[in-house]
Chain A
Amino acid sequence: MSDNSSSNAYWAANKRIIYISLVIWAVVSYGFGIILRPMLSGIPVGGTDLGFWFAQQGSIIIFIALIFYYANYMNKIDREFGVDEE
């Protein structure tokens, strides 16, 4: 790679968004869906509690949003750092 500092900065930006996304990924599934469910049990959703909703639907919906946000964000920084494919 000819321009090392720019490609390092690109990789650092990529890793940062990956860490943030993985934290959200873990919180909505393992967190809200399983471990923190007793804490969320006071919030009612359609005959049950919020933790149940996260375990059966909420986590999946947030996974989708997360991937699309990531793809969009990466396309933007690909262009900013001049490493996109055109």
Chain B
Amino acid sequence: MDQYTLNLLVVGASFALYVGIAIWSRAGTTAEFYAANRGVNPVMNGMATAADWMSAASFISMAGLIAAVGYGNSTYLMGWTGGYVLLALLLAPYLRKFGKFTVPQFIGDRFYSQSARLVAVVCLIVISVTYVIGQMTGAGVAFSRFLEVSVSTGLWIAAAVVFVYAVLGGMKGITYTQVAQYVVLIVAYTIPAIFISLQLTGNPIPGLGLFSEHSASGQPLLQKLDQVVTDLGFNAYTAQGSMLNMTLFTLSLMIGTAGLPHVIIRFFTVPKVADARWSAGWALVFIALLYLTAPAVGAMARLNIIDTIFPGGPKAEAVLYEERPNWMKNWEVTGLLKFTDKNGDGRIQYYNDKAAGFASEAQARGWNGNELDINNDILVLANPEIAQLPGWVIALIAAGGLAAALSTAAGLLLAISSAISHDLIKDWLKPDISEKGELMAARVSMGGAILVATLLGLNPPGFAAQTVALAFGLAAATIFPALMMGIFSKRINSLGATLGMIVGLVATCLYLFTYLGWFFIAGTNMLENVPANYLFGIPPTAFGPIGAVLNFAVAYFVSMATAAPPQSVQDLVESIRIPRGAGAATGHH
């Protein structure tokens, strides 16, 4: 059976599974649509949260990012997992006790203010829409590579599948589909990693293999890797990075993660407050299965690629272009791997031509610049081919990448549609809408959101990659502080919280626009995006925590200068702090 047929079979079977689950778990009430009737087992919810959280970026890009830099990019590993500690300790149990459906609803009720709620809705929609564009584009690319259709056809197929299970099942359908998607993506991610770890170190567990001996050389794997990359002029893999930048960027990812609305709403679905705490732990267990494997995948893939290009070691001749392996030919077609024979010797020289100290050695060897450009994103996708694994593993990777992209897209779309149908329509524009009418509005806004996401995915704005920084920064600077203050302080009042969020929102946007252009339009930036221009050396991508601090400070001082919140609100805060009386799974309200 050829590779194409295999891909079609495996991906098709996974899609049939998702749609089947959707039909089995149709939502009949708004409680089912928004919160799966609060009946989800905490372990299942942990799995669904893991799939919800791990996007195409975690599945496809993260290992490549770590491989490219080594230790310095450990920030992604700590940042994208450490946020769950904040969620479990500071947000999840209290929001579950509050017992409503959306994040803006909590902000609106706690700060007894429709404007606070609207600011939260705006932030939620900006965060979720920028995120969902990346997911849809990722799904389109995965389709075009593995199913050999055009990127736009791939996107429409992805949109149709999400439409069926998200519109039909709402949170209920999405939850059980995400559980299935988690299983697909983790199996797809770990199988090639296990084989590669066995080949390189003899240890079947990739996370342990990373710290074991490299079988071929007898040296520890990381030491071997340090040696081959420095032989080619790159920085040592385990070399120290900039402490300030790493700390700030890790903090930014952690607080951003804890403020992302599509992750927070997953904790509304469990039966009890205690389950919300357990569920955050289970989510991190399932996330860690991938995140403990990713650094091994990154390091081993980097070593494998250099081995392929320099079969006799970096000190010997590079491989002839004519004799390059098949996986290189496959990825050249996609443009994600490029070879230019700069010195005309027919061999592939891959090295760091920007390293000053390496110029003389390169000249002595007759090298005329780096000849191979490898996009970081191909690392995970090409891994099974690089390690010469069987065709069904390659098909599995395709299904896994799609599962990662689609599960996150569905979670985001649900956050958007519930904010529109519940916060905007039901509580603002048309309070007398019936339960049936609201459910219909939720489905229509979900359909609309899918259409917008697909159209944006077809014509991604040039700034799509940069807006992810905006999404994290906004989540960190607006939603996270507002929720935390709402729970941990009885004194923060409506004016303080609203002004705090607005200051966090405006400061974060201004800082990003200063370096990345007004509304990310190229050429309109006021300062060049280089470290020398940064305020206290803070890169735009790491501004989130600063925005959060500004939000906290403004909210505190304004609240202290104005009247305390009414007694009923203080009672509400008292009540969310105590688990008793959370209310079991209920249908209608």
Give me the interface of A with B, judged by CB distance under 8 Å.
1, 7, 10-11, 14, 18, 21-22, 25, 29-30, 33-35, 37-38, 45-49, 52-53, 55-57, 59-61, 63-64, 66-68, 70-71, 74-75, 78, 82-85
Contact = CB atoms under 8 A, between A and B. Distances in A.
A34 B281 contact: no
B274 A78 contact: yes
A22 B210 contact: no
A21 B273 CA distance: 19
B569 to A, nearest CB: 14
B85 interface: yes
Contacts, number: 140
20 contacts: A21-B85, A22-B85, A35-B243, A46-B220, A47-B223, A48-B220, A56-B74, A57-B207, A57-B292, A60-B284, A63-B81, A63-B85, A64-B284, A64-B285, A64-B288, A71-B277, A71-B281, A83-B579, A85-B580, A85-B581
Per DSSP, chain B at the interface is helix
Contacts of A83: 578-580
B214 to A, nearest CB: 9
B425 interface: no
Given A47-B220, A49-B238, A71-B88, 9 more contacts: A1-B574, A1-B575, A33-B74, A56-B71, A57-B292, A64-B281, A67-B277, A70-B88, A78-B274
Contacts of A64: 281, 284-285, 288
Per DSSP, chain A at the interface is helix
A53 B207 CA distance: 10
Interface string B141-161: 000000000000000000000
Contact of A60 (B89, B212, B274, B292): B292
Interface string B54-96: 0000000000001000010010011001101100111001000
For the complex of A and B, the 4 pairs showing the least CB-CB separation, nearest first, are A47-B220, A46-B211, A55-B74, A47-B222
B77 A55 contact: yes
Nearest to B208: A46
Contacts of A1: 571, 574-575, 578
A84 to B, nearest CB: 6
Contacts of B191: none
Contacts of A57: 207, 210, 292, 295
Nearest to A33: B78
Contacts of B582: 85
